[in-house]
Amino acid sequence: MAKGKKLDVFDMKNAKLSEVTARMLGPTGNLRAPTMRVGKTTVVGFNDEAYEAVLG
């Protein structure tokens, strides 16, 4: 999850679902934008480094 320059990375095998969903939602309760899924990786929010890592 990206919020400005902050980047949160979760290993979904060990992450608490409530913590992950809380970080994925914006202040209005909607999913943060942009959101993309590439393979098994989901990127929520915008972060240059995360996009470059996922998209190559």
* Residue 2 dihedral angles phi and psi, to the nearest 5°: -120, 135
Report pLDDT for 39.
92
Report pLDDT for 26.
86
Structural domain count of the chain: 1
What's the whole-model pTM score? Answer: 0.75
pLDDT digits (tens, 9 = 90+) for 14-55: 999 999 999 899 889 999 889 999 999 999 988 888 889 899
Report pLDDT for 32.
87
Measure the CA dihedral 31/37/40/41, to 10°: -70
Alpha helices in 1-56 (DSSP H): 17-24, 48-55
Report pLDDT for 15.
93
CA-to-CA distance for 33 and 30, rounded, in angstroms? 9
